[in-house]
Amino acid sequence: DAKTTQPPSMDCAEGRAANLPCNHSTISGNEYVYWYRQIHSQGPQYIIHGLKNNETNEMASLIITEDRKSSTLILPHATLRDTAVYYCIVRLAHNQGGKLIFGQGTELSVKP
Amino acid sequence: SQTIHQWPATLVQPVGSPLSLECTVEGTSNPNLYWYRQAAGRGLQLLFYSVGIGQISSEVPQNLSASRPQDRQFILSSKKLLLSDSGFYLCAWSPGGGTNTGELFFGEGSRLTVL
Q: Secondary structure of B45-109 in the HEC alphabet?
A: EEEEEEEECCEEEECCCCCCEEEEEECCEEEEEECCCCHHHCEEEEEEEECCCCCCCCCCEECCC
Q: A47-61, B60-74, B92-106: which has the minimum mean pLDDT?
A: B92-106
Inter-chain CB proximity B36 and A101 less than 8 Å: no
Comparing C-alpha atoms, which of B16, B18, B24, B20 is closest to residue B8? B20
Report the pLDDT value the prediction gives residue A22, as an integer from 0 to 100.
97
Q: What is the mean pLDDT of residues A25-49?
A: 91
**pLDDT at residue A46 is higher than 60:** yes
Q: Tell me the average pLDDT across A36-51.
A: 92
pLDDT for the residue numbered B107? 94
Distance of alpha carbon A90 from alpha carbon B49, whole angstroms: 18
Gap between the Cα atoms of A58 and A27, Å rounded:
26
Q: How confident is the model at residue B61 (pLDDT cuts 50, 70, 90)?
A: confident
- The stretch B13-33 carries a mean pLDDT of 95
What pLDDT is recorded for position B79?
95
Which of A1, A62, A99, A108 is the best mutation test for B, with the most CBs of B within 10 A?
A99
Q: Please report the pLDDT score of residue A76 as a whole number.
A: 96
Answer yes or no: do A95 and B49 touch at CB < 8 A.
no
